[in-house]
Structure 1
Amino acid sequence: MSTINLVKGQKIDLTKGNAGLTKVIVGLGWDPVKQSRGFFGGKKQANIDCDASALLLNENGKLTDVKNLVCFHNKTSLYNAVVHSGDNVTGEGEGDDEQIEIDLVKVPQDVSKILVVVNIYDCINRKQDFGMIQSAYIRVLNGSNSNELIKFNLSDNYAGKTALICGELYRHGGEWKFAAIGEGTQAAHINQLAEQYK
Structure 2
Amino acid sequence: MINLQKGQRIEIGLSKVGVGLGWDPNESTGFDFDLDASAFMLGSNKKLPQDEFFVFYNNQKSPDGAVESSGDDLTGGNSDGGDDETLTVDLTKVDPRIEEIIFTVTIHEAIARKQNFGQVHNSYIRIYNAVTNEDIARYDLDEDFSIETAVEFGRLYKRGSEWKFEAMGIGYKGGLQYFVDKYAY
TM-score by length of 1: 0.82
Of the candidates 155, 164, 170, which is equivalent to residue 177 of structure 1?
164
For residues 51-93 of structure 1, what are the alpha-carbon distances to aligned partners after superposition, in whole Å with 9 as ceiling and x for unaligned? 1100001122112211010000000001211100011112242
* Equivalent position of 2:72 in the other structure: 87
* Equivalent position of 2:3 in the other structure: 5
Of the candidates 59, 62, 78, which is equivalent to residue 77 of structure 1?
62
SS in 2 for 1:195: helix
Report which of the two structures shows the higher radius of gyration computed on alpha carbons: 1
Kindly indicate whether the alpha-carbon contact (under 8 Å) linking 1:28 and 1:98 is maintained by their aligned counterparts in 2: yes
Of the candidates 109, 118, 124, which is equivalent to residue 137 of structure 1?
124
Structure 2: stretches of 5+ with no match in the other structure: none
Structure 1: stretches of 5+ with no match in the other structure: 16-20, 36-43
* Equivalent position of 1:14 in the other structure: 12
Whole-angstrom CA distance in 2 between matches of 1:194 and 1:157: 20
For residues 65-122 of structure 1, what are the alpha-carbon distances to aligned partners after superposition, in whole Å with 9 as ceiling and x for unaligned? 1101000000000121110001111224211121101110111111111100011112
Whole-angstrom CA distance in 1 between matches of 2:183 and 2:39: 12
Of the candidates 143, 152, 161, which is equivalent to residue 165 of structure 1?
152
* Equivalent position of 1:38 in the other structure: none
What displacement does 1:32 show? 5.9
1:47 maps to 2:32: yes
Kindly indicate whether the alpha-carbon contact (under 8 Å) linking 2:129 and 2:136 is maintained by their aligned counterparts in 1: no
Kindly indicate whether the alpha-carbon contact (under 8 Å) linking 1:32 and 1:132 is maintained by their aligned counterparts in 2: no
Could you list the runs of 4 or more consecutive aligned residues of structure 1 that deviate by over 6 angstroms after TM superposition?
Answer: none
What displacement does 1:139 show? 2.3
SS in 1 for 2:45: coil
